[in-house]
């Protein structure tokens, strides 16, 4: 906050001027929204930073440097590009895909995108260079996480599915008043493909009694690997996830490639079916549909 003896001629866009007997007083205001849930808006690529051989971190900047994405915990954004099937008039249809930013702040957001050979949007985003644009809409709520609503939250992630999970973990762990325990099982093909590991380890070191992490690899190193290997198993989840006997005090979130989601929790969510029926390993362990949310 700042006090002025006369009305400021050009206040920063992130402040509101108020007149008090002591002079003009500037107070922080909510940053203006950079995006909208109702209309598509273009964001410009600022930088592309490789994270592994097939994954990159892309920073998109807002036109208004004072704006924010307005992301809530466990929300996501839609992206759109005209890269679909060719139409009779020569144009291409739109392809729309949801993504959760790995980081948002005033002025920009960041996406961590893995390139899939048959993924039209992931290949398109990987082709973008600084100065190129991509359309966004949102944020759109996935599920609400309320302070101390649950005794324990389990997070099951595969590949870039870690981004909404990290969002949830940060929201819980960085709030000193929230005592919810968080347990993450994070599956990848190889150790080199564990994205955002530094941020996960920072949270783990800062909250050793509240946050547990198990890394699972399809192809672990021949020596020195301290995590698990193979597919996510019933035993892994039984040991790491909050027990279904907690009822409404337990929540398990799942996000990852279709095969992993199917194995862990049944069919992926869709616009037509919503969350769908609970299946997979979680159903075998006795969880209810109400205890599980699939991104």
Binding residues for FAD: 97-99, 112, 114, 120-122, 163
3-state helix, strand, coil in the chain (%, to 5): 20, 35, 45
SS3 227: coil
C-alpha 105/C-alpha 264 separation (Å) is 33
Q: What are the angstrom distances between the C-alpha of 200 and each of 40, 120, 193, 214, 215?
A: 32, 29, 14, 11, 11
Dist CA 104 CA 124 (whole Å): 22
Binding residues: 97-99, 112, 114, 120-122, 163
DSSP string, 44-97: EEEEEEEEETTEEEEEEE-SSTT-B--PPTTEEEEEEES-SPBPTTS-B--EEE
């Amino acid at each position: 906050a700042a006090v002025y003896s006369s009305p400021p001629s050009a206040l920063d866009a992130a402040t509101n001027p108020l007149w008090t007997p002591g002079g003009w007083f500037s107070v922080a205001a909510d940053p203006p929204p950079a995006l909208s849930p109702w209309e598509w808006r273009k964001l410009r690529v600022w930088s592309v930073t490789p994270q592994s051989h097939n994954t990159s971190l892309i920073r998109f900047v807002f036109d208004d440097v004072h704006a924010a994405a307005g992301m809530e915990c466990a929300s996501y954004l839609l992206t759109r590009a005209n890269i679909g099937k060719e139409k009779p008039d020569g144009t291409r249809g739109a392809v729309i895909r949801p993504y959760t930013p790995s980081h948002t702040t005033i002025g920009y957001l960041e996406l961590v995108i893995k390139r899939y050979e048959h993924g039209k949007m992931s290949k398109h985003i990987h082709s973008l260079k600084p100065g190129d644009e991509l359309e966004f809409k949102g944020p759109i709520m996935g599920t609400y996480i309320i302070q101390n609503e649950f005794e324990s939250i389990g997070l099951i992630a595969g590949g870039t599915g870690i981004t909404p999970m990290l969002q949830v973990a940060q929201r819980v762990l960085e709030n000193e008043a929230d005592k919810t325990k968080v347990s993450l099982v994070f599956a990848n093909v190889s150790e080199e493909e564990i994205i955002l590991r530094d941020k996960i380890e920072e949270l783990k070191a800062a909250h050793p009694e509240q946050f547990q992490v198990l890394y699972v690899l399809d192809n672990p190193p021949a020596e020195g690997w301290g995590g698990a290997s193979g597919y996510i198993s019933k035993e892994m989840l039984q040991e790491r996830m909050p027990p279904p006997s907690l009822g409404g005090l337990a929540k398990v979130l799942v996000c990852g490639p279709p095969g992993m989601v199917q194995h862990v929790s049944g069919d992926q969510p869709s616009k037509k079916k919503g969350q769908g029926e609970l299946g997979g390993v979680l159903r075998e362990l006795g969880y209810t549909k109400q205890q599980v949310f699939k991104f």
